[in-house]
């Protein structure tokens, strides 16, 4: 039998709250994605700009406004990493959690930019529309640079601590790390386009935020009943 390490009750409670908060934030982000695209198409028929051009303005506004709220809940959810990795190195675990929280907070702005893309998609004049789409996309890219920098650095620290130190973070959970899963979207694109309606739309339009929701569902199931974990 491997010895058990039981976390203090306050940390166990906070860990559960982080799981719930992260899941809520992920589902809000995912709901925003669904509002942006608005149709239940197949993977092959998924055309975000065309679909956003047909949406009511109020849906685009609501979809974007969800972003900052979802980001706050998601940022709190990143506390999961600080709590479960702190036995390996508390300072590094906190840095990893903080970087991932920063990623999510920036992600709220990144998400909201899609409302602007939707507005630009509605412009009738083709030349003006294309110009606006390029300009808004450049804003999205600029916001994306610090987002990816914080996310990749935080993810690397999570892997390092989980794989090289004795922590309370199950190593198998690394397989579902959302920052890693979200990066596989381009690799799976040829398969995504083969998925029929309505699942194809959900997968292509919500893969990134769906990856975060999946992680927090699994994390909640892992940590909810018993806050203790085995030392590996």
- Is residue 17, in this structure, part of any structural domain at all? yes
- Is residue 3 in a domain? no
pLDDT tens, residue by residue, 200-216: 888 888 999 999 999 99
Residue 7 lies in a domain: no
In a domain, 21, yes or no: yes
Segments forming the whole domain that contains residue 31 = 13-225
Query: Could you tell me which of 42, 81, 112 has the C-alpha nearest to residue 212?
Result: 81
* Measured torsion, CA atoms of residues 79, 81, 84, 86, in degrees rounded to the nearest 10: -90
Is the residue at 92 inside a domain? yes
Q: Does residue 19 fall inside a structural domain? A: yes
Entry pTM: 0.89
- The pLDDT tens digits of the residues spanning 25-68 come to 999 999 999 999 867 788 888 888 888 999 999 999 999 999 99
Q: What is the tally of structural domains in the chain?
A: 1
List the Cα angle 176/179/180 in 5-degree steps: 60
């Amino acid at each position: 039998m491997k010895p058990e390490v039981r976390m203090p009750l306050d940390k166990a409670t906070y860990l559960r709250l982080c799981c719930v908060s992260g899941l809520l934030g992920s589902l809000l982000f995912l709901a925003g994605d669904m509002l942006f695209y608005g149709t239940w198409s197949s993977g092959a028929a998924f055309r975000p700009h065309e679909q956003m051009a047909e949406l009511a303005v109020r849906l685009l506004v609501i979809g974007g406004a969800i972003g900052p709220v979802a980001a706050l809940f998601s940022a709190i959810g990143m506390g999961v990493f600080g709590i479960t990795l702190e036995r390996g190195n508390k300072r590094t675990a906190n840095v990893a959690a903080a970087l991932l929280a920063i990623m999510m907070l920036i992600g709220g702005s990144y998400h909201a930019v899609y409302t602007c893309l939707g507005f630009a998609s509605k412009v009738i004049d083709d030349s003006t529309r294309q110009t606006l789409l390029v300009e808004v996309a450049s804003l999205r890219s600029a916001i994306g640079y610090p987002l990816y920098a914080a996310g990749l650095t935080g993810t690397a620290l999570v892997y390092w601590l989980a794989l090289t130190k004795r922590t309370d973070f199950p190593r198998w959970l690394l397989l579902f790390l959302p920052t890693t899963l979200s990066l596989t979207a381009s690799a799976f694109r040829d398969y995504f386009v083969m998925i029929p309606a309505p699942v194809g739309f959900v997968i292509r339009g919500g893969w990134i935020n769906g990856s975060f929701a999946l992680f927090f569902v699994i994390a909640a199931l892992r940590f909810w009943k018993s806050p203790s974990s085995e030392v590996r």
